[in-house]
Structure 1
Amino acid sequence: MPDSTLSTSSLEAAISVFYRYGLRDASDAALAKALNTTEPDLAAQFPSRELLVHHAVLADMERQKREHVALYAQYSSAVERLYGLLQLGLRDLAAVPGQYYGDLQTDFPLTWDAVMEHLNSYSAPQLQQLLNDGIRSRLFRSDINIQLVTKILIEQLNVMLNPQVFPPDRYNMREVFRSIFLYYIRGICTDEGARIAAEHFARL
């Protein structure tokens, strides 16, 4: 039976519809079907497309946070957690069509601001905390520039997904991931951290 009031978790399903059809072009019918509701109920709860996009994006951010909690429960070392976060980030970024962020920035500025705030107040500090944890546990070198390394890691994800740099028909993206992150992160590791990194990649 369709839900008359959509929960935060159920709103996540709207993201894949927006990816497929576009933020403006996705029909109310397709969105209502994905969200297991009716078009009138959808319009009643979200009278504008801006409001629906905003809440769907916020719901997707909460989904990411839940996945990170599960990841941290699975891995205890800062090295493995860092690799895991990068893999989740890469998976999510790979699903985003090329025009999505441009459309979000142009047509939905309040939601774009929320995405930037999430990056600055959650994602970057999360990476910085992991690097700090790794230094304290002597898995990462104590002389690394944490803010600079955080920026480099984020930009490396973007480079991986640039089809002009790594055309997917020419490169195995799993191997690209290994080649970029295995060697880079090993370079900021101590001997013990490098050992854990090698063991983790051997399981991928």
Structure 2
Amino acid sequence: MMIPETILERLHEVFRSEGIERNSEEELMQQLRISEGEYRQLFANRADMVQKVVLHDLSLQEARDDERIRYAKNPVEKIILLLQHGIQDLKMVNPAFIIDLQLHYPQVWEMVLQHLESYNHDLDLRIVNEGVVQGYFRKDINLQLVAKIIIEQFNMVINPNIFPPERYNLGEVFRSVYLYYVRGLCTDKGAKLAEEYFAKNNI
């Protein structure tokens, strides 16, 4: 039998590409090549399976975030990297995955939203505060409010009802929202770095 982490990651790949509800539990077992007995050892029911898959992925996301900002040269680059990669990750997700979570697994979806409000908020807050201390971000900004606005802007950018992908290029939306907002938070030293990063990475 595959190790549980591998099963969770394989299931997440299926959900990301096809949505959650497209496959029955039996079809998922066939894709994983595990028996029903092995499946039942891991998951009490379908809802339990979805929750464990999402929890595991949230944990992996935190590890990916740590890796992404480890070699960033400054807090300005850190905040842009997190936002940029977050949107790139979501571009790879079938919208059916999010819709299925919202419609069929509201408790799991609420867990995702709480993670966004706690982990992502605290991470953004820490990086912006680091930038203030190092002189990249202005000292007169409200740290809590800035962290909240960054999250809400992210939700806006990825909302297909606000920016339908057939009408708007997500990269251009990202640039239009975050280049000007992040630059507005910056001191002259930080603003120069933000503009250079956006220009160098063509975003």
TM-score grouping bracket, smaller chain normalisation: 0.7 to 0.9
| 1:82 counterpart residue number | 79
Contact 1:79 1:197 in 2 (8 A): yes
Aligned-residue sequence identity (percent) comes to 38
TM-score by length of 1: 0.85
Structure 1 residues 42 and 61: CA distance shift in structure 2, 3 A: same
| Deviation at residue 96 of structure 1 after TM alignment | 4.1
Structural mapping, 1:10-29, within 5 Å: 10-29=7-26
Tell which deviates more after alignment, 119-128 or 86-95: 86-95
Q: Which runs of 4+ in 1 moved over 6 A?
A: none
For structure 2, list consecutive stretches of 5 or more residues without a partner in the other structure: none
Mapped partners of 1:166, 1:110: distance in 2: 27
Task: Name the CA distance, whole Å, in 1 between partners of 2:188 and 2:169.
Answer: 28
1:38 is aligned to 2:34: yes
Query: CA, structure 1 residues 165+115, in 2 after alignment: closer, same or farther (shift >3 Å)?
Result: closer
- Report the TM-score when normalising by structure 2: 0.85
| Other structure's SS at 2:163 match | coil
Counterpart in the other structure of 2:63: 66
Residue 121 of structure 1 deviates from its aligned partner by 2.5
- Matched residues, number: 200
Task: Give the alignment's Cα RMSD to 1 decimal.
Answer: 2.3
Amino acid at match of 1:114: M
- Provide closer, same or farther for how the CA distance between residues 107 and 163 of structure 1 changes in structure 2, counting only shifts above 3 A: closer
Structure 1 unpaired stretches of 5+: none
Question: Do the aligned partners of 1:46 and 1:52 also contact (CA within 8 Å) in 2?
Answer: yes
Amino acid at match of 2:4: L
Deviation at 1:167, TM superposition (A): 2.6
For the residue of structure 1 that corresponds to 2:4, the secondary structure is coil
In the alignment, the residues of structure 2 paired with residue 88 and residue 33 of structure 1 have an alpha-carbon distance, to the nearest angstrom, of: 32
TM-aligned CA distance change 1:32 to 1:87, over 3 Å:
farther
Asked whether the 8 Å contact 1:28–1:39 carries over to 2, the reply is no
Kindly indicate whether the alpha-carbon contact (under 8 Å) linking 2:25 and 2:46 is maintained by their aligned counterparts in 1. Answer: no
